[in-house]
Amino acid sequence: MWRLGRTQTFIRTARRLLKRSPNLRRAVGAALELLEIDPHHPHLKLHRLHGHLDGLWAARVNPNIRLILNVDHEEHEIILIDIGSHDDVYR
């Protein structure tokens, strides 16, 4: 199992996103459960980012919603940094 941590930015943006779109609650919960079990699960489409987000990773909640995270493979720890639409998190 992987440990999940959350930044204040993630907590704030997740609250805002789920308040605007409560129907996403189940998909976000399922993605977080998969991250805890196996962050490399094909459904998440985990991939390393480049450019101004170099060193971070992205995972897919659904076709439009992304999680931005920091993955520490040695410690089996994932820090959730941001969540939002594709356009919002890659700004």
Q: Measure the CA–CA gap between 82 and 74, rounded to whole angstroms.
A: 22
Residue type, 58: A
Q: Measure the CA–CA gap between 44 and 6, rounded to whole angstroms.
A: 18
Spans of all domains in the chain? 3-89
In tens, the pLDDT along 11-62 reads 999 999 999 999 999 999 999 999 999 999 999 999 999 999 999 999 999 9
Q: Does domain 3-89 have CATH number 3.40.50.170?
A: no
Residue from 16, 52, 9, 10 nearest 31 by CA: 10
Structure pTM?
0.93
